[in-house]
Structure 1
């Protein structure tokens, strides 16, 4: 592979790693943010919600916008937005401003993720599989070491460091990207559409309904739990959220270019179940990912740096398991690996329930290691299951829905933790969380079995249609 292509991969890799790095570093910073801004756990959890909701909206939108403005331009603008957010977030005087800059950071990093893979596919014409695997290392490696890096930074300074640490990556990526990413071919961009046509193509109405409806529903649910009283404003906000999401579903069914193509779910039940399984897997994984650091720091009084070291076992086990999962799935298909993954999640969730306040801190590594291995199996296994269940002509749409399912699972994990814990993170709440995760893990095994039957039915239906 030419030296230029390697520099191109490094430029893109330094940019796209910012999204998983910033989504994972914050897991260790939540207790510190609670103390600094004097917030309960429910309110501080919006630092997670805001990032993933913004990412869920921004990535598909920016992917489509790159057709109009060009991929290189979107990538560079994303770096500028991420730089501004990383510089301004540490200066936030209130938690509200921090959320604003967190959303801005999510949009900027999502712009790079949305077009980074496409840049490599277009401009690296030799050994594309190697190039894409290098980018996957940037993405998965950043997610794996995020809590460790966040813990070290919090111990060395405070929460501001998890934003300032982005600046060297942004500058390095920008300098390289400016030099090595080829300029956009204007013949491949579409400047002939009107603003109204582009808003219709991007399904602006659907995006607005989805965003406002989801935020309103989450705010209503979490406000009721945090205040321990059911007030009329909370009920009304939650109801407004439900109504808007219902209208959003009707909009997506009727739209010619929907933000989330819901009609596909009815047409391909096996693919639908893969997405449900992926959403459930991420609900389980991120409930542990965001819940355990708060448990260690708030209940067990473990330092940020030691929490980061313990959480490192989760990411490392996931990274180590992924290549072995690939070989296993190539030989036996995804079903055995996904079954083992579900059993590992069930075991580790039950292990958490059995912990008590006097259990050795190192014992949580058993649950972390099991969840890490299961995550490595799931990342490869569910992607393979998606390719098997989705028709070739639908693979682009299927991949987009797959990513959306991940975001839904992550958002639901934060909601689950917030509803269980309320305003205060306690040992009793953590045990209830472990019981919920155990039940969800058992349902994951059942869903996997159900998906196999749906796949057979879908194949029979498609054969009859032919």
Structure 2
């Protein structure tokens, strides 16, 4: 046993260093991670109040303008599991900093885009960068924050609703006093600051084991991406005037075939893109429970994203409400999300997960 040092009790960073781990200044490290997560969550909703102005500026339809939100959701959903695997293979710090760089460069590209197709593609790339924040940030805290990791990880739950709440307000400010391009330009200085802070305060990655270097299922990744993209295109064609039935049927058929192929692939692949138990469970009862949770998540996600996209746009187009005031309409939703998430956390301790889940659905 190591002899006690002739000084007062060691601080948390000193204890980590003595255990062979990098010294971590938890306050600045968490602030850096939280700033990145806040930037990503704000960008998921900041475009909502700029849709009307963006539509006019790029001379496009409202359906395709809405794809600036849809494309962001697509890129985030597809890249989130990929980013988790990359953080295991390449290291949390590398993936975190690389994701911030991709997000920042894509934001600059969005601000300079001159047509809707380019903007949508860059929004997908922007979301792909943003998707790398969550798994790498969580991994950094789990790896380096010791016994305090649960408390810091739980704080993530308040960052996302706060960011989603203030995003439309920031978007309204940019549109009212600058331009719709400003909702993307503002990410540049923030992203640069995060990279500088991350290089200074985020600890270096630990050596990777052979298991962490395991391969990736690119076939499953491609099938899921094709399923999501074709499905969203089919839905978009439903709302497009003059769209042919054949085009809608073709997109829907591709989505269904790719979806079935993905489900088959994750059962057969040695290292599937998504663990089959997350979709199928591990038994008959588990299958029912997993399917129920997935259905609830899908419904909740569609409702929340739809509200964020439609409320400011409807308020502006139908009632002529100024964009800043229209963005403020979503503050109540964000406040309610924060309050009820705290209540749900308290309720879980006393009642378990079933009752809060049922009440939330109702």
User: Are 1:265 and 2:280 an aligned pair?
Assistant: yes
Question: When the two structures are aligned, how many residues end up with a matched partner?
Answer: 336
- Structure 1's unaligned 5+ residue stretches are 344-466
Contact 2:58 2:114 in 1 (8 A): no
Is residue 94 of structure 1 aligned with residue 115 of structure 2? yes
SS in 2 for 1:158: coil
Counterpart position of 1:320: 339
TM-score (norm 1): 0.67
Contact 1:9/1:135 (8 A) holds in 2: no
Match of 2:218 among 188, 192, 204: 204
Q: How does 1:147-296 map to 2 (within 5 A)?
A: 147-186=168-207, 188=208, 190=210, 198=215, 202-262=216-276, 264-266=279-281, 267=283, 268=286, 269-296=288-315
Aligned 1:362-373 pairs, distance under 5 A = none
Q: Are the equivalent residues in 2 in contact too, given 1:203–1:258 (CA < 8 A)?
A: yes
Of 8, 12, 19, 2:33 maps to 12
Distance 1:224 1:335 in 2: 36
Which structure has more helix as a fraction of its residues? 1
Cα gap change, 1:340/1:69 in structure 2, threshold over 3 Å: closer, same or farther?
A: closer
Q: 1:68 offset after TM fit, Å?
A: 2.2
Contact 1:68 1:190 survives alignment (8 Å): no
**For residues 59 and 141 of structure 1, what CA distance do their matches in structure 2 show?**
20
Maintained 8 Å contact 1:21/1:143: yes
Q: Could you tell me which residue of structure 1 aligns to residue 100 of structure 2?
A: 79
Deviations 1:141-198 (CA, angstroms, capped at 9, x unpaired): 2122111221222212121111112123212221111011111122x254996xxx62
The CA deviation at 1:221 is 3.7
Q: Deviations over 1:232-286 (max 9, x none)?
A: 3443333233222222222122222222334552531223312222222222222
Cα distance in 2 for partners of 1:164, 1:81 equals 14
Q: Does the 8 Å contact 2:63/2:236 carry over to 1?
A: yes
Give how far 1:114 is off. 2.0
Counterpart of 1:145 (choices 144, 151, 166) is: 166
Counterpart for residue 301 of structure 1: 320
SS in 2 for 1:25: coil
CA RMSD of aligned residues (A): 2.3
